[in-house]
Chain A
């Protein structure tokens, strides 16, 4: 869990994000997003959050790309000329992004580096000895109620928005 490993992982995380948004093919973009989730899950595992890592891997690297790919596959395929034109235009729009990121990264890393200690608190409160499962099920049941309610809302989103699509 050393610093070089973390830096490599974070750099690849940001690289995946950039590739995800500049990729012209939406299905490939969804796959880069899945790659981001996989790297994030690895980082989480290394930092000592195995439960969250497993969740992230199964849901965000599994379920979400499926949603994106099914959404993209229902959309129109553009013709060759349109694709060329769109590619030039996209280059024009997104060419600023790497420069912006590199500038921001440099500023944050090297210019503001001496002041980083102001961001960390001086003393940390002692953590409890409960595990995540215990916290969620014993102390934060309202969160679980909230999750149930939002899943019900998701079901209704399915009923309201997707009924016609299935019939189609």
Chain B
């Protein structure tokens, strides 16, 4: 059986192809990945939901109106109040954690994009530094 092996390609096309992708669709893809990661973190911490339910009871055991003597109603009220307080504390912590995590991811993403833009220049920069002959003294 005859098998077809790969054909030769135009070498000039290689450089043009990789560079046009790197600063075109490649960059868009990278930005999309960073955006997706931030969206996932946002979904995980569900900051919007946490904010809208900040003072809702946390993992409530009873719900609805409690009928009965005043002492029972009072107890239910206190129970719910404690539940709301615990909920507010836990949710506030989660909101803070979430905001920090998203911010860190956004900063990390910006760094990645910055390097992405610079990476094709690395060989030139490396050559320049080698020619200059500078080496960090602490190494």
Q: Do A and B bind each other?
A: no
- B residues adjacent to A (C-beta < 8 A): none
- A residues adjacent to B (C-beta < 8 A): none
